[in-house]
Amino acid sequence: RYFIDWKNDVDSYFTIDATEGTIATNELLDRESTAQYNFSIIASKVSNPLLTSKVNVIINVLDVNEFPPEISVPYETSVCENAKPGQVIQTVTAADKDLSPAGQRFSFRLSAEASNKPNFTVHDYRNNTAGIETRRNGYSRRQQELYFLPVVIEDSSYPVQSSTNTMTIRVCRCDSDGTILSCNVEAIFLPVGLSTGALIAILLCIVILLVIVVLYVALRRQKKKDTLMTSKEDIRDNVIHYDDEGGGEEDTQAFDIGALRNPKVIEDNKIRRDIKPDSLRFPRQRPPVEDNTDIRDFINQRLQENDVDPAAPPYDSLATYAYEGNGSVAESLSSIDSLTTEADQDYDYLSDWGPRFKILADMFGEEESYNPDKVT
């Protein structure tokens, strides 16, 4: 019988047939994780298990080309603004996670979409290295600061693996010898060589000016509000007047006087009551006033008649109610509805009121007894 001498977890990757002694894999193997396995196998006699022997087994895992090659660092490079065509700005190499056999080579080229852009190109040196070269005369940071160059790398193993790696090329300001002076954002906005401190001072001055302008505008608005008031202590003392005069009676569009009418009557009668109707106004038959009618009832009756009358005021008119109430203890105080005339009145009682009413007594007394020439 055959057995594996279990010493560690590595032995679990393999199994052995107890009768035939055939070794097989028990799990998937990864050369990048473990390239070699070392364990022992014990053989014992069936008739006598005490008779055993041990042998050491070493298993090497062969490589399979499963990983594509990649560009070694750096992935970012720079180019001077005054660069010339054909100038090499970076040399790149490749790395492969697979165990590269002797003689394996890598090839470099541009991707199909980048081949039509005449900015940069890749020159394969055929020794597992390549150079990034310029294809134009000069670059401008103001027009474009960054360029992205896709580079395709292939290996020579089977099956062939390839990958596309994007390189970042930054445009920098250099001197005449090609030494890089500045590649940051400051170099774009300050080509004349202003320092960071100068830039901060300029921005601070701009912020202070903006704050001053905002405060000035706010004070001007506050002064305009103060001029509308005659007293800052109590706004109730202020009188705001508008020197605007309307059009008088001809200004019919300014105000609809019909709004002053009874709202219920306006809803019932849609005829406008702020203008005189065209139809002829016929005299209304007023019911006779009863003797015991109260003045309040009389006025309410007349108001109701005018409210339901479409030809009633408020156009220029005057409605009078010539009615004098009755039942007064002091009897009649005027000559309204009086059946007597002035000739029937007796004013002799005025002479009894004293000398102050003597002139009135002479004026309203007998005609022959009054002589204006004797009045003093």
- CATH for 96: 2.60.40.60
Distance, in Å, from the CA atom of 354 to the CA atom of 376, rounded to the nearest integer, reads 16
**Same domain, yes or no: 174 and 100:** yes
Q: How many Cβ atoms from other residues are within 10 Å of residue 139's Cβ?
A: 21
Exposure of 270 in the CB half-sphere (CA atoms within 13 A): 0
Q: Is residue 45 part of a domain?
A: yes
Q: Is residue 238 part of a domain?
A: no
Domain boundary residue, one of 143, 160, 180: 180
Give residue-wise pLDDT tens across range 145-194. Answer: 999 999 999 998 888 899 999 999 999 999 888 888 888 755 455 444 55
Give residue-wise pLDDT tens across range 341-371. Answer: 555 566 777 778 888 888 877 787 665 454 5
Phi, psi of 346 (to 5 degrees): -115, 115
Structural domain for 81, as ranges: 70-180
**pLDDT reading at 95 higher than 70:** yes
**Same domain, yes or no: 130 and 163:** yes
Count structural domains, the chain: 2
| Residue carrying the six token digits 């020159």 | 123
Q: Which amino acid is it at 33?
A: S
| Residue carrying the six token digits 């596309």 | 164
**Same domain, yes or no: 99 and 163:** yes
300 class by beta-carbon count within 10 Å (0-12 exposed, 13-18 middle, 19+ buried): exposed
- Sign of the alpha-carbon torsion through 112, 116, 120, 124: positive
Domain boundary residue, one of 130, 156, 180: 180
Phi, psi of 321 (to 5 degrees): -120, 95
Q: Which of 149-158, 214-223, 259-268 has the lowest mean pLDDT?
A: 259-268
pLDDT for 24: 93
Q: How many Cβ atoms from other residues are within 10 Å of residue 256's Cβ?
A: 12
**Same domain, yes or no: 112 and 165:** yes
Select from 109, 137, 113, 104 the least CA-distant residue to 123.
Answer: 109
pLDDT for 151: 93
Max alpha carbon distance in the chain (Å)? 186
Q: What is the CA radius of gyration of the chain?
A: 60
| CB < 8 Å & 24+ apart, contacts of 126-133 | 128/93, 128/94, 129/91, 129/92, 129/93, 130/91, 130/92, 131/88, 131/90, 131/91, 131/92, 132/77, 132/88, 132/89, 132/90, 132/91, 132/92, 132/167, 132/169, 133/86, 133/87, 133/88, 133/89
Q: Is residue 254 part of a domain?
A: no
pLDDT for 366: 60
| DSSP assignment string, 153-183 | EE-SSSS--EEEEEEEEEEEEE-TTS-EEE-
The total number of residues shown for the chain amounts to: 376
Domain boundary residue, one of 38, 60, 82: 60
pTM for the structure as a whole: 0.42
